[in-house]
């Protein structure tokens, strides 16, 4: 039986649904998932799968971010909070969530970006996401800040009908946010 996948904007999710998604994310991220991480996944589209009992088994969200590259600003879709419950992994649920988010990305943004763990990178590479080969920076409150610890973990995917962002343009500069910038 294929479990149904649903998409909804943050404002469409009831407080009980948001609490259940947060619980899934808290369980899935062994290295920790804090309040700032939680906040980063808000204000965009959520894709999720629930089991027949209503429990959330897979989730991801896509939020708008701005990046600067070679003197130009791009509106991108940034993938956040992708998780699959431990007992449901390797069943294609993460791929289904990503396919739904990528459909939104293709219709609304110039490109997609995400920060990948080593385990997550396998899924993203298989779906056509590629590591950004140059510097990663952020436009912080005190100016541009280099993020060397993020280099190698950032993956991009061009949207359908858009050319890929050109790494020869130098550093990819993200908008600032509290907590982990990427």
- Indicate whether 182 belongs to any domain: no
- Indicate whether 180 belongs to any domain: no
pLDDT of 180 above 90: no
- Indicate whether 181 belongs to any domain: no
pLDDT of 125 above 90: yes
Give the pLDDT of residue 112. Answer: 97
- Indicate whether 169 belongs to any domain: yes
- Indicate whether 156 belongs to any domain: yes
pLDDT > 90 in the chain, percent: 80
Who wins on pLDDT, 11 or 170?
11
Residue-range definition of the domain harbouring residue 163: 5-175
User: Residue 4 CA to chain centroid, in angstroms?
Assistant: 21
- Indicate whether 131 belongs to any domain: yes
Q: Where are the beta strands (DSSP E) in 38-92?
A: 45-50, 56-69, 72-84
Q: How confident is the model at residue 101 (pLDDT cuts 50, 70, 90)?
A: very high
Enumerate residues 6+ apart whose C-beta is below 8 A from 163.
none
Give φ, ψ of 171 to 5 degrees.
-70, 145
- Indicate whether 112 belongs to any domain: yes
Read off the DSSP letter of residue 167.
G
Q: How confident is the model at residue 1 (pLDDT cuts 50, 70, 90)?
A: low
């Amino acid at each position: 039986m294929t479990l149904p996948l649903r998409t909804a904007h943050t404002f469409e999710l009831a407080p009980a649904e948001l609490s259940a998604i947060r619980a899934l994310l808290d369980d899935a991220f062994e290295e920790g998932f804090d309040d700032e991480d939680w906040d980063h996944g808000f204000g965009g589209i959520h894709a999720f799968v629930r089991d027949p009992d209503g429990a959330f088994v897979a989730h991801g969200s896509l939020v708008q971010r701005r990046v600067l590259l070679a003197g130009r600003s791009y509106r991108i879709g940034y993938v956040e909070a992708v998780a699959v419950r431990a007992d449901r992994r390797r069943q294609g649920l993460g791929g289904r969530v990503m396919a739904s988010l990528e459909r939104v990305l293709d219709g609304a943004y110039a490109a997609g970006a995400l920060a990948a763990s080593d385990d997550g990178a396998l899924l993203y590479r298989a779906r056509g996401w590629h590591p950004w080969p140059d510097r990663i920076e952020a436009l912080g409150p005190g100016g541009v800040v280099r993020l060397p610890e993020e280099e190698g973990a950032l993956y991009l995917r061009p949207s359908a009908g858009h050319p890929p962002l050109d790494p020869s343009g130098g550093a990819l500069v993200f908008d600032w946010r509290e907590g982990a910038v990427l």
